[in-house]
Homo-oligomer: A and B are copies of this chain.
């Protein structure tokens, strides 16, 4: 399993991904799922992946090699995409191209063609954007109303985002909320695990302001988890007990 979330606020973009992969509970590994593509000052992009690792890695390899445009002969990659929307379309085409070459063989082996991506970033002159791509190569875009998108094991970490994150949230507060959302998820689902990779891209900088890996022993994240637990316990205690008895 996997958990990745992207948060798009006024000041920029946060993306966070775990690194745990598993083929059954007895075969657990660490793989990077957050991939950054950058030409500093001109474009910053990141892809976070969930689903079958052989498929998501292949999609990224296809994108890195480039998809030939049959009309122009150009090899289209994320790095030469003119807009974020067209870059998202290229990811969609890479997914479909993989489904075309691999789908039948996988189906015959009872392996489902399941994957999803978050794709976020900014190309100079455009606004920062965040997309979620499905197995069919189609995608949705994050808007102000709900300023985050999630893939993988999204349920445990959703309530905290729903309550706390708005378009106006400070960029590093958004990162903090994202990390709290990962804490909730990792407590409830063992198949989401440390280390965590994260990217912070401030609006209009077109560069990774922060690209960081949080290791299990990292003191800030340990402290965040302790503080959050203590605050929740205190919050429970502060709420009066139900008065229904004898009503």
A interface residues with partner B (beta carbon < 8 Å):
155-156, 158-160, 162-164, 170, 172-173, 175-177, 179-180, 184, 187-188, 198, 200, 209-210, 212, 220, 224, 227-229, 231-236, 238-245, 247
Contact = CB atoms under 8 A, between A and B. Distances in A.
A159 to B, nearest CB: 4
A217 to B, nearest CB: 14
Count identical subunits in the complex. 2
A44 to B, nearest CB: 15
A238 B244 contact: no
B176 A159 contact: no
A238 B231 contact: yes
13 contacts: A155-B156, A155-B188, A158-B188, A159-B184, A159-B187, A164-B233, A173-B241, A175-B241, A177-B236, A210-B245, A224-B239, A234-B235, A235-B235
Given A155-B155, A158-B188, A227-B235, 16 more contacts: A155-B188, A156-B156, A159-B184, A160-B232, A162-B188, A176-B241, A180-B236, A180-B239, A200-B245, A209-B245, A212-B247, A231-B231, A231-B234, A231-B235, A231-B239, A234-B235
B176 A244 contact: no
Contacts of A162: 187-188
Contact of A242 (B176, B227, B238, B240): B176
Contacts of A172: 241-242, 245
Contacts of A241: 170, 172-173, 175-176
Contact of A158 (B156, B176, B177, B212): B156
Contacts of A177: 236
A216 to B, nearest CB: 15
A179 B231 CA distance: 18
| Residue from A159, A227, A240, A243 with most neighbouring chain B CB atoms (10 Å) | A159
Given A156-B156, A156-B159, A188-B158, A164 B242 contact: no
Contacts of A176: 236, 239, 241-242
A180 B233 CA distance: 12
